[in-house]
């Protein structure tokens, strides 16, 4: 070989060994790689259908689950029956997956897996609302305490029964350990209640009462929720709050209450011509009766939701008042003048003692339209017949004056009075005290001036007095 050939061979030789050297490194890297990222022997940890990570063996998952269960059992003190979630190990076909260490897996399970234990569920309205409790006794305790609180200030002697407005039940069930609550916590939530935020926008023609009614509320309730709103001044477009805070469970207390109530008496009128129209006379005095009424009252959250009469015992019957009502009329035909000293008419004298000091008719000072009767100031003045008071006030020279309309165009006037015992509009009966005599108006001394007016003209009263 020549020198050139030798050099060439050397080159080949050295180059070849280098090739082997580089190839060896590549294989080593591949093996290392395969060791770190398992190619075919990993398992996916699938919780409720979702892959949460990978582990190298299915046994590791079983062990970690057992450990997590043990931990949950110790922490809760309950007999754990199993996981709430479905946890599976599935063979993974994906390449280059990174697997978790055993401790990482345990932490993952502690975070993601919930455990079931035999406890109980308190159902409200067939499961509309549910509370998990450790035992059935706890569920019952919640219900008992709710009743206890609701009846704390109620007289036990009138309580007939204590129930719940909602359908409630306690049933044994497997419950999530994480959801189990204490008796007091549940009571707190029940009493706090639900707050459904609801508003109503006032529309044309709506009243506060209507809005309350349409939302099963009383006006008072609605006013409480809308303290700043004046019901009489609702405006279209105004927002009204309908947000009611009610407990999740309402205790209904049924009471039996007996109260004494009065029975109003009725009045029976009997028409009689022996009394003048407008006159009445009580024949039998009426009186109210008494009864003992027993009510069944249902109360919830401090207000009455139902009230029914269940028994009624009459203790005293009412007495009907019987009243004679006059239909008679004053006879217009005047009596003869011979009766002037006492008269034989139908009108009663207006005083208990009647002495005429100035008669009806023409006198020196002009025509006297009535009779003057002697009376010290303060003497009782009585209605001459039944009728209606049409004037009871100062009237020119008459001073304090009363006019009674007896119907049939007949009126009587009483003048110079010191005080009134009746007012305009009153119905008076014959002989009723109507005023006290006096010396008011155009009068020269205390007396009673008395007039009889028939169809607008004064007549000599003496002819009408009895
Ligand atoms: Zn007179």
Q: What percentage of the chain has pLDDT greater than the value 90?
A: 58
- Rounded to 5°, the CA angle 438-439-441 comes to 125
Rounded to a whole number of angstroms, the CA Rg of the chain reads 53
**What's residue 339's pLDDT?**
35
Average per-residue pLDDT for the chain: 86
> For the purposes of burial, counting CB atoms within 10 Å of the CB of 183, is it exposed (0-12), middle (13-18) or buried (19 or more)?
buried
pLDDT given for residue 450 in this prediction: 97
As a whole number, mean pLDDT of residues 92-108 equals 85
The Å distance, Cα 429 to ligand 1 centre, comes to 24
What are φ and ψ of residue 392, in 5° steps?
-155, 70
In this structure, the dihedral spanned by the alpha carbons of residues 130, 131, 133 and 135, taken in order and rounded to 10 degrees, is -40
**For residue 337, is pLDDT > 50?**
no
Positions of CATH 2.20.230.10 in the chain: 253-326
Fold of 337-463: Glucose Permease (Domain IIA) (2.70.70)
pLDDT above 70 for 19: no
Position 434 scores a pLDDT of: 97
Rounded to the nearest angstrom, the distance between the alpha carbon of 428 and the centre of ligand 1 is 23
Q: How far is the CA of 58 from the centre of ligand 1 (A)?
A: 130
Task: Quote the ligand 1 centre to 307 CA distance (angstroms).
Answer: 66
Cα of 426 vs centre of ligand 1, distance in Å, is 25
Q: Which helix (H) or strand (E) holds 225?
A: helix 219-225
Q: What's the 372 CA to ligand 1 centre distance in angstroms?
A: 5
Chain mean position to CA 245: 13
pLDDT of residue 31: 54
Task: Flag whether pLDDT at 3 surpasses 60.
Answer: no
Work out the pLDDT band at 81, boundaries 50, 70, 90. Answer: very high
Picking from 419, 370, 421, the residue whose alpha carbon sits closest to that of residue 394 is 419
State in Å: Cα 462 to ligand 1 middle: 14
- CATH 2.70.70.10 maps onto the chain at 337-463
What integer is the mean pLDDT of 271-299? 87
| Confidence band of 33 (pLDDT split at 50, 70, 90) | low
Q: How far is the CA of 433 from the centre of ligand 1 (A)?
A: 20
| Spacing, Cα 440 to ligand 1 middle (Å) | 12
Bigger pLDDT: 222 or 13? Answer: 222
Domain 195-246, CATH homologous superfamily name and number? LysM domain (3.10.350.10)
CA atoms within 13 A on the CB side of 153: 3
Distance from Cα 351 to the centre of ligand 1, integer Å: 15
Q: DSSP secondary-structure letter at 111?
A: H
Q: What share of the chain is helix, strand, coil (3-state, %, to 5)?
A: 25, 40, 35
Taking the centre of ligand 1 as the mean of its atom positions, its distance from the CA of residue 371, in whole angstroms, is 5
For residue 17, is pLDDT > 60?
no
Q: Ligand 1 centre from 422 Cα, in Å?
A: 22
437 C-alpha to center of ligand 1: Å? 13
The CA 448 to ligand 1 mean position distance, Å, reads 7
Question: What's the CA-to-centroid distance between 344 and ligand 1, angstroms?
Answer: 22
Of 31-40, 68-77, 303-312, 322-331, the one with minimum mean pLDDT is 31-40
The pLDDT value given to residue 172:
95
| pLDDT classification of 414: cutoffs 50, 70, 90 | very high
Distance 449 CA to ligand 1 centre (A): 4
Domain range 253-326, CATH class: mainly beta
Mean pLDDT over 271-291 rounds to: 84
Question: Stretch 281-304: mean pLDDT, rounded?
Answer: 92
Evaluate if residue 160 carries a pLDDT over 90: yes
Every domain of the chain with CATH number 3.10.350.10 lies at 195-246
Residues with CB under 5 Å of ion ligand 1 are 372, 449
How much of the chain, in percent, has pLDDT values that exceed 70?
Answer: 86
Lookup: tokens for 206: 């709506």
- CA–CA separation, 171 vs 189, rounded Å? 19
List, for residues 449-466, the tens digit of each pLDDT value.
999 998 889 999 988 887
């Amino acid at each position: 070989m020549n020198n050139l050939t030798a050099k060439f061979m050397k080159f080949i030789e050295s180059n070849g060994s280098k090739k082997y050297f580089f190839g060896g490194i590549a294989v080593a890297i591949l093996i290392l790689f395969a060791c770190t990222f398992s190619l075919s022997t990993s398992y996916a940890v699938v919780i409720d259908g979702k892959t949460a990570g990978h582990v190298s063996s299915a046994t590791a998952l079983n062990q970690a689950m057992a450990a997590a269960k043990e931990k949950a059992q110790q922490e809760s003190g309950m007999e754990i029956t199993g996981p709430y979630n479905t946890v599976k190990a599935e063979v993974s076909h994906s390449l280059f997956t990174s697997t978790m260490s055993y401790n990482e897996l345990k932490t993952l399970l502690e975070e993601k897996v919930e455990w079931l234990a035999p406890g109980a569920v308190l159902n409200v309205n067939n499961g509309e609302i549910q509370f998990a409790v450790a035992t059935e006794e706890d569920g019952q305790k919640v219900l008992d305490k709710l009743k206890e609180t609701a009846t704390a200030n109620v007289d036990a002697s009138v309580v007939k029964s204590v129930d719940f407005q909602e359908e409630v039940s306690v049933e044994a069930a497997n419950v999530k350990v994480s959801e189990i609550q204490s008796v007091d916590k549940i009571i707190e939530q029940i009493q706090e209640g639900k707050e459904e935020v609801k508003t109503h926008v006032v529309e044309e023609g709506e009243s506060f009462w209507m809005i309350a009614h349409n939302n099963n509320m009383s006006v008072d309730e609605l006013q409480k929720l809308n303290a700043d709103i004046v019901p009489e001044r609702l405006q279209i477009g105004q927002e009204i709050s309908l947000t009611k805070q009610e407990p999740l469970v309402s205790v209904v207390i049924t009471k039996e209450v007996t109260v004494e109530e009065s029975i109003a008496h009725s009045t029976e009128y009997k028409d009689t011509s022996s009394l003048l129209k407008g006159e009445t006379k009580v024949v039998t005095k009426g009186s109210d009766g008494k009864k003992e009424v027993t009510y069944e009252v249902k109360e919830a959250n401090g207000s009455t939701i139902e009230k029914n009469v269940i028994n009624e015992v009459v203790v005293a019957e009412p007495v009907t008042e019987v009243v004679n009502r006059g239909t008679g009329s004053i006879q217009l035909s005047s009596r003869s003048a011979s009766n002037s000293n006492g008269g034989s008419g139908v009108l009663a004298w207006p005083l208990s003692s009647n002495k005429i000091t100035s008669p009806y008719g023409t006198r020196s000072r002009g025509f006297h339209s009535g009779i003057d009767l002697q009376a010290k100031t303060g003497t009782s003045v009585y209605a001459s017949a039944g009728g209606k008071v049409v004037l009871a006030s100062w009237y020119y020279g008459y001073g304090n004056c009363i006019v009674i309309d007896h119907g049939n165009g007949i009126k009587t006037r009483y003048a110079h009075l010191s005080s009134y015992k009746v007012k305009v509009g009153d119905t008076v009966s014959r002989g009723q005290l109507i005023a006290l005599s006096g010396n008011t108006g155009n009068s020269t001394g205390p007396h009673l001036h008395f007039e009889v007016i028939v169809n607008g003209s004064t007549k000599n009263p003496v002819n009408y007095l009895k």
